[in-house]
Amino acid sequence: MTAGQLRPETLPEDTRRILEGIEEGRRGALARAITWIENGDPRAAPLLDFLQPRTGQAWRTGITGPPGAGKSTLVDGLTRYWSEQGRKTALLAVDPSSPFSGGALLGDRVRLDRALEQTDVFVRSMANRGSLGGLALATGAAADLLDAFGFEEIVLETVGVGQAEVDIAAAADVTVVVLTPASGDGVQAMKAGLMEVGDVFVVNKADEGGAERLAAELEQMLALRQAQREPDEGPDRQLVPENPRILVASAREGRGIEALAGAIEETRREGMASGRVPALREQRALMRVRRLLAEGLRAAIWENRRLRRGVRKALARGEGPDAFARRLLQAIFNRLDPDEPEEPA
């Protein structure tokens, strides 16, 4: 079924009410829908299908960096700034750490959330409740909802620099990396692969000194990386940050916030002109399809009874498990573009 064929009348009563609530701009309905996404509630899927045509208007900014670097404090300032500029702003704070920690790393976020209550910034936290792939999917879907709801600025803040955190933050139009002069953040940034994803680097806690030195180090590391890069790295070349910017800030003193907003804005403008932003958005959709396929296939592999029958028949005709699996993969991959006519086997 394509989007053009979707009709609200076909939705169950409660889903339709949430859809209407979202269309009317009610934040309660939005919060409820995000909870559906978070819980893997099947009612979320048709809702997202309906709202899909309305996405694509918002800017997404990802914020990542080591714990304690001041991300939450900085995000507080940035979202407040945008909100004061009249931009409809939403914040998704994401904690992919162990489900057993219950999102404990989001603790500081809560303190700041109370301060943001005086503004009209929409704040929502999402913690890992199961699989990591699941949280990335849920975050993407929640961001789509916020986009369709009419937010112009969506900030995705993560709690640290694990692979999942970086993946989530980098699934944005602009990725901001926050570091501090203390405790070898520069080295940690290299190790965590942050140098590869950052469009804007913020050296925070400038009030404590040493910020200019780290900024200069970063400048060198980025210049080195830029020099080593092959002129053409193939189809993914557009996904690499073009012209990373480095800023010095003190989130606690509210210094550097406006410059950060400006750097984000410039990065977007360049990215639209060069075609990088559309390429990033397509990449984001591709990643989402990959994750959904991986989840769907995992379910099919472990739960599908026909597979057991298929193996039995394969063995009976003398086909080994490897050959059978290869043939199955082939059959699946032959259909990867469902709009194309099926290729002959």
Ligand X SMILES: Nc1nc2c(ncn2[C@@H]2O[C@H](COP(=O)(O)OP(=O)(O)O)[C@@H](O)[C@H]2O)c(=O)[nH]1
Residues that bind ligand X (CB under 6 A): 67-73, 108, 204-205, 207-208, 250-252
Q: 202 Cβ partners below 8 Å, 6+ apart?
A: 65, 74, 176, 177, 178, 179, 247, 248, 249, 256, 260
Which residue number, 22 or 202, has a Cβ lying nearer to Mg ion?
Answer: 202
Instruction: Give bridge partners of residue 53 from the DSSP assignment.
Output: none
For residue 69, the partner it binds in ligand X, Mg ion, none, with Cβ less than 5 to 8 A by kind, is: ligand X
Which residue number, 107 or 278, has a Cβ lying nearer to Mg ion?
Answer: 107
Long-range contacts of 6-10 (CB under 8 A, 24+ apart): 6/46, 6/49, 6/50, 8/50
How many residues line the site for Mg ion (CB under 5 A)? Answer: 3
Near Mg ion by CB under 5 A: residue from 72, 89, 128, 238: 72
Which residue number, 108 or 270, has a Cβ lying nearer to Mg ion?
Answer: 108
Which residue number, 40 or 254, has a Cβ lying nearer to ligand X?
Answer: 254
Q: Compute the least distance from the CB of residue 215 to ligand X, in Å.
A: 14
For residue 256, the partner it binds in ligand X, Mg ion, none, with Cβ less than 5 to 8 A by kind, is: none
Q: Compute the least distance from the CB of residue 218 to ligand X, in Å.
A: 17
> Which span (104-112, 230-238, 279-287, 318-326) binds Mg ion, by CB under 5 A?
104-112
Q: Compute the least distance from the CB of residue 197 to Mg ion, in Å.
A: 18
Count CB atoms within 10 A of the CB of residue 232: 7
Tokens of 174: 């602009």
| C-alpha closest to that of 175 among 142, 194, 158, 199 | 199
Which residue number, 71 or 88, has a Cβ lying nearer to Mg ion?
Answer: 71
Could you give the CA distance from residue 298 to residue 66 in angstroms, rounded to a whole number? Answer: 32
Token pair 């404090």 is found at: 73
* Residues lying near Mg ion in the complex (CB under 5 A): 71-72, 108
